[in-house]
Amino acid sequence: MKQRILVLGGDGYLGWPTAMYFSRRGHEVAIADNLSKRGWEAELDVEPLIPIASLDDRIAAWQEVCGPRIGSFVGDLTDLDFVRGTLEDFRPDTIVHYGEQPSAPYSMIDAQHAAFTQVNNVVGTLNLLFAMRDVAPDTHLVKLGTMGEYGTPDIDIEEGYLTVHHNGRSHRFLYPKTPGSMYHLSKVHDSHNIHFACRVWGLRATDLNQGVVYGIETDETALDPRLATSFHYDEVFGTALNRFCVQAVAGEPISVYGRGGQTRGYLNIRDTLACVGLATETAAAPAEMRVFNQFTETFSVLELAQRVRDAAAHLGIETTIAHAPNPRVEAEEHYYNPRHSGLLELGLEPHPLSEELIDTMIERISAFRDRIRPELLVMGVRWAPERPAPERPAAEPVAAAPAGASRQDRA
């Protein structure tokens, strides 16, 4: 059925392709964005590999190429009046929420960036929930969470919830979270706030705990160069596989943190759009917060690097793998077995990571080789301060025990 779909953060890496995806399928689409991602890029002196147009020019190009008009609301989710006004004007059936500061490294630069990330993300989502309660209580919220909320517990990761049996009784809780950055922690707060709004106010929501996204093109961005999305390769906004492909093209060693045993869930950007589409087509029930773990495959960082190295060699590009000190605080080797059946049961048909797909990414990146700035590949953001090893006091000499002393006497 045709829906009115509001995409929050619709100027971003995922938001812009999502807006086009729904528009092309006949839905009435509007974007809400404060354009702050472009400001954060300017602050850090980074830029997408492929030049992107302004939001107005993107919307105009989409209308020229495909016909339907994508609406736009420019404002900040931390402004409750803006959020309420947007919902009153557009009256969405579904809200797809990407409108947050999306980078773990950005949140760990210093106290100011951590506080900004928490306030921006948590308050923006709280404003949205209150506005939905008062203006659009029947609207379905599709919220982008992250697999990083869970961390890497030494037990299986269930899909959102865990039933606990204790002293002869049982209860179903949100799965316990052990996030690894201030950004991921803000997403945990979002999940609890959304769960509260569904339980107490009767809202409906789907929380998509997404893995690491890779990819440079979707069916819609491929229609016209002006429709490109913001593909990043820098250490702050670029994700692992995207950065590795750019390093290979630039002739830089592929940098693997530590031994590279860190394992995570990954998915193609095309699968992100398919997952959001499936969640939108099958709304949660009133007072329900569904949770889907949104990824298609798991890889260690080293395995990803090896795949990029091998695919690059297939194209005649020789590159090496370099193990670098890990700026993050995370386990080098760990158990990782997350469930992810929900979206598959709804009909998701994944695009697995293949050598052909990596080759396609590398070829596309190679067309913009001159825009690669190697200094952005390692920008020095650390999760914890470097501290010198504490000096050990000199050991006091131990007097020799007299002959015949007992073991206790010697101690």
Catalytic residues: 146, 183, 187
**Residue 345 CB partners (closer than 8 Å, separation 6+):** none
Per-residue 3-state assignment (H helix, E strand, C coil) for 343-397 = HHHHCCCCCCCCHHHHHHHHHHHHCCHHHCCHHHCCCCCCCCCCCCCCCCCCCCC
Residue 338 in 3-state DSSP?
strand
Give the span between the Cα atoms of 241 and 354, in whole angstroms. 12
| Cα of 361 vs its chain's centroid, Å | 19
Q: What is the C-alpha to C-alpha distance for residues 126 and 409, in angstroms, rounded to an integer?
A: 66
User: How far apart, in whole angstroms, are the C-alpha atoms of residue 39 and residue 36?
Assistant: 5
Cα–Cα dist 75/218, whole Å: 27
The DSSP string of 290-321 is EEEEE-SEEEEHHHHHHHHHHHHHHTT----E
Strands (DSSP E) contained in 71-184 are 71-74, 94-97, 140-146, 161-166, 169-174
